[in-house]
Amino acid sequence: GVTIRESVTINRGTKAYGKTIVGDGALLMTGAHIAHDCIVGNNVIMANLATLGGHVEIGPWANIGGGVMVHQFVKIGTQSLIGGGFTAKQDVPPYIVVSGAPLRFVGINKIGLERRGFDSETRALIKKAYRTYFVSKFNRGQALDKIRKTMEQTEEIKKILNFIESSERGII
């Protein structure tokens, strides 16, 4: 089931899109708001006063910190964590921690990945991919090419590449 605490609001879907979906195991803490036509994945945690604009999509096991505002049409990747009190105006890729104003990459969600059973080798590969994308001096295209050509194409790496390449709002 879904745990819904006090003063949570969930808007129904619009006629154009049809529905708002909250996945199994989600925890919606006090005052959280989910606008129309959102898709909230299984086991997502939305802390107190986290707010989603319309058409937001959140992948499974993501964690949205207290007071976070997520702009309409933003996508949040699986197992990502957004630090409390910030605003997400662009897409947040899977498996990472973001914080600050504007949001920026802090690192991989090491604790979350450990809790979900990701082994150290997989975590190291995810970390290497994101260091190439966010920390290196490569531009977006060069970083994606390097990840594609020099790293083992595991399910996680493919998910990262697909998420970044399909982003319509841009990546944080």
Domain boundaries, the chain: 3-111, 112-166
Q: Which of 33, 36, 55, 71 is catalytic?
A: 36
Architecture of domain 112-166: Up-down Bundle (1.20)
Measure the CA–CA gap between 28 and 19, rounded to whole angstroms: 18
Contact 61, 44 (CB under 8 A): yes
| pLDDT tens string 112-146 | 999 999 999 999 999 999 999 999 999 999 999 99
Q: Is 33 a catalytic residue?
A: no
Class of domain 3-111: mainly beta
Of residues 21, 39, 29, the one with CA closest to residue 67: 29
30-85 tens-digit pLDDT: 999 999 999 999 999 999 999 999 999 999 999 999 999 999 999 999 999 999 99
SS3 content of the chain, % helix, strand, coil (to 5): 25, 25, 50
In the numeric block, which tokens belong to residue 47? 């802390």
Cβ proximity of 166 and 151 under 8 Å: no
Give the pLDDT score at 18: 86
Give the pLDDT confidence score for residue 17 in this predicted structure.
82
